[in-house]
Amino acid sequence: MPTLTRAEAAERASVVDVESYHVDLDLTGDGDTFRSRTVVRFRARPGAATFLEFEPVEVASMTLNGKPVPATAADGARLALTGLAEANELVVDATMRYSNNGEGLHRYTDPADGAVYLYQHLFINNAGRVLPSFDQPDLKASFRVSVTAPAEWTVATNGRLVSRDGGRWEFAATERISTYLASLIAGPWHVCVDEHDGIPLALYARAALAEQLDAQAGEIFEITKQCLDRFHEMFEIRYPFGHYQQAFAPEFNFGAMEYPGLVVFRDDLVPRSAMTYTEREYRASVIAHEMAHQWFGDLVTMAWWDDLWLNESFAEYLGSRVAAEATRYTGTWTTFALHRKAWGLRADQRPSTHPVAPSEVADTDQALLNFDGISYAKGASVLKQLVAWLGDEAFLAGVNAHFAAHAYGNATLADLLGALAEAGGRDLSGWAELWLRRAQVNTLRVETRRDGGTYAEVAIVQTAPDGFPTLRPHRVGIGLYDHRDGAVVRRELIEAELDATGRTVLPALAGQPVADLLLLNDGDLAYGKIRLDEDSAAAVPLLLPLLTDSLARAVIWASTLDAVVDGERPVAELVAQVLTALPVETETVIVEDVLRATRGLVDRYATAETRPAALELVAQAADRLLAASPAGGSRQLAAARGLIGATADTARLHGWLAGDGVPEGLAVDADLRWLIRYRLAVLGATDPAAIEAELAADRSASGEQWAARCRAALPDPAAKAAAWAAVVGDATLSNRLAELTAIGFWQAEQRDLLEPYVTRYFAEMPEMMRIRSGMSAEKIAIAAYPAVMVAEPTRELAAGLLAAPDLNPILRRVVQDHDDDMRRALLARGLGI
């Protein structure tokens, strides 16, 4: 689908006003196409011309106001119309193609039972793959959908079901929504239903996951109801889209998508194996995130993609907040501090950094690239600061005024800021300029001067990177922690407003007894790179295991990891801290995230000579935690996964597969078996026959995906050649299988074997971008990048590709960002750390 420029969108919006779509789909064929008949009603400037996005396989007929439209009008994935009337009716009957890349109407065959499932994903600019449409967010319209499907199928859409006669389904017209929010699922779905506060609820999953959905539906419904209640307390407009359905679909490109009335999640969120507490918490926060979108994005939609933050930043903030306030998962801000914010900080320091609210997003290609840690996590962090600054009452008053003014329509940054400023009585223009319109991140460092056992002066120094000299106001907490009776507890918490001068003295701390730990950003209000004073940093390895507050521990771990990424602290020091502090960690999310991040840093920052020893220490830390964790609990499972990913003890891993030496309470279920098999594949301790035997015992969607990953991980020339060919050249391979094959391909243990593929990535990845598109192509380009091949020749090849003037913009961003990551890794190695 060709990109749509902002200029084209503005011109089209000045010409047409869309009223409705009636989409009639025939899904009864068993081939790779389906029939789509669409009636589009719209008003226009008389005599004007316009176009619709449209990508048919074959057109049966097209009429505009009863007159035939020539077949030549549909060209280049657009349908050109001329001679428009004031009121227009376009009728198009066409054959369209199913996709296997998660865009348009995705068709999936479940390997477990051969059942076929469909889901529609029109995100950004894919509506033309299903129907002719004015595909931009500010041309909202009502959607009415009719579907003919096999009689045994279930069909659901945004709209309420009006009637069903065998395989014929009729749905009511929706409220006015943007084209990218039109949703549909079809197939032999397993369904669970409920109701809450007058709102019909439903859950959908593949029939192969019926047992898992039934077992988990109680918790999912409970969280859904709790979040609905909390949003109704916060917002004056009740949930605005009738029923609230949630479908768990295979091979979904996003983790979830907020289609009004029919939210779709990747079906990984209904796992068939054991879940950790963190994974359940994540599902709760995603449910809350997508529900927040029903107001921020669906009820009120951005006018153009430059205001993406009006959707994603608010949903990210409210996802963590509402899950913490309304559900049993009260620790979501700990997860946010350690995991989500780190995503934002990394994205904000890369060459592709951009403002939270950029002043210009030129086209839909650029819009896709902005779905990143800046639009999500940085934006949410900024909002958290804004709420603390305005006060919650004023924030919610402004938000509700914004909803009331723009319900079922579109809005801009200026609209929201105006409503918040009026409610809070504060001018937000300066705040917005510094936080929303300017890119990059500040570093906050603590400087202390002592007078014996007390502080003579404590100051916070704010700096900005070269090229981005903006200093910003920050609201931060500073915690004073003392070591008492075998624990590290907070003596006092002060909050301070940091101005934009660069150095802020904290008079409240002058004369205070020196703390064992002075924690900057206690409470995690600030968005910035946090650096402790020298004495506190030196005390962290001793004090961290005794610190009782999980959010404080998360802030410290996040600061530690970030300092290693920046080359300020050696990866060996991080590994030593992991060995000391992680075995006594009680918060599962900290265990999981620290192990994941440390493993990635060891793979890239440690040299080939030092990496085995460092990885063995990580394995020892996980093993100690495994021994200390309660049987059958989340920490035990998290520790086991961490151990499997780091150990080189193949005999132990084979023993676990055989049921020997498995810790009491640890279930070696299907997915843990595959994780073990995957690690054995990386280490060259299994073979293709063993992988196929594992797959034969687990002929499921998850089994198929794990097998693809394991085959790609084998340290065998033939296996690598087959995997690479699949990633770069097999367009018949589905989006998810291609991505997982790429994930399995690069292994730090196999650098010698993989050396020839470094050159091939930069030579062949442009062709992959031509046979794939959108988010699927981006995910594969990222997963296939030779990130573990840390060497100057890799950077030289990257520079050569980046010099190409016609390089795909998605691939350009992937290569720029990964090359910058490699620059950091080489810097750290060059410093001898």
pLDDT band at 773 (very low <50, low <70, confident <90, very high): confident
Task: Render pLDDT for 583-629 as a digit per residue (tens, 0 to 9).
Answer: 999 999 999 999 999 999 999 999 999 999 999 999 999 999 999 99
Give me 102's structure tokens. 């998660």
Give Cα separations from 253 to 626, 807, 822 (angstroms): 33, 23, 26
Residue 73: Cβ within 10 Å count: 18
Residue 465: Cβ within 10 Å count: 16
pLDDT for residue 558: 96
Please give the share of the chain, as a percent, with pLDDT higher than 90.
96
Task: Render pLDDT for 39-74 as a digit per residue (tens, 0 to 9).
Answer: 999 999 999 999 999 999 999 999 999 999 999 999
Mean pLDDT over 524-548 rounds to 94
Q: Are 686 and 677 in contact (CB under 8 A)?
A: yes
pLDDT for residue 830: 77
Residue bearing tokens 């918040």: 420
pLDDT band at 30 (very low <50, low <70, confident <90, very high): confident
pLDDT at 531 over 60: yes
pLDDT at 500 over 90: no
Task: Render pLDDT for 448-491 as a digit per residue (tens, 0 to 9).
Answer: 999 999 999 999 999 999 999 999 999 999 999 999 999 999 99
pLDDT at 1 over 70: no
pLDDT at 832 over 80: no
Task: Render pLDDT for 264-308 as a digit per residue (tens, 0 to 9).
Answer: 999 999 999 999 999 999 999 999 999 999 999 999 999 999 999
d(CA 156, CA 573): 53
pLDDT band at 829 (very low <50, low <70, confident <90, very high): confident
Task: Render pLDDT for 782-805 as a digit per residue (tens, 0 to 9).
Answer: 999 999 999 999 999 999 999 999
What's domain 300-435's superfamily in CATH?
Answer: Neutral Protease Domain 2 (1.10.390.10)
pLDDT band at 353 (very low <50, low <70, confident <90, very high): very high
Residue bearing tokens 């009026």: 422
Active site (annotated) includes residue 792: no
Q: Are 626 and 640 in contact (CB under 8 A)?
A: yes
pLDDT at 833 over 50: no
d(CA 640, CA 623): 7
pLDDT band at 521 (very low <50, low <70, confident <90, very high): very high
User: What global pTM score does this model have?
Assistant: 0.96
pLDDT band at 200 (very low <50, low <70, confident <90, very high): very high
Q: Are 624 and 643 in contact (CB under 8 A)?
A: no
Q: Which pairing describes strands 104-109 and 168-171: parallel, antiparallel, or unpaired? A: unpaired
Task: Render pLDDT for 618-652 as a digit per residue (tens, 0 to 9).
Answer: 999 999 999 999 999 999 999 999 999 999 999 99
Give me 644's structure tokens. 């499997």
pLDDT band at 774 (very low <50, low <70, confident <90, very high): confident
pLDDT at 154 over 70: yes
Q: From start to end of 314-442, where are the E strands?
A: 409-411
Q: Are 733 and 726 in contact (CB under 8 A)?
A: yes
Q: Reduce the DSSP state of residue 578 to 3 states and report it.
A: helix
pLDDT for residue 821: 96
Three-state SS string over 488-528 comes to EEEEEEEEEEECCCCEEECHHHCCCECCCEEEECCCCCCCC
d(CA 474, CA 472): 6
**Residue of 279, 281, 290, 778 marked active site:** 290
The yes/no answer on whether domain 6-188 falls in CATH 3.40.50.300 is no
pLDDT at 400 over 90: yes
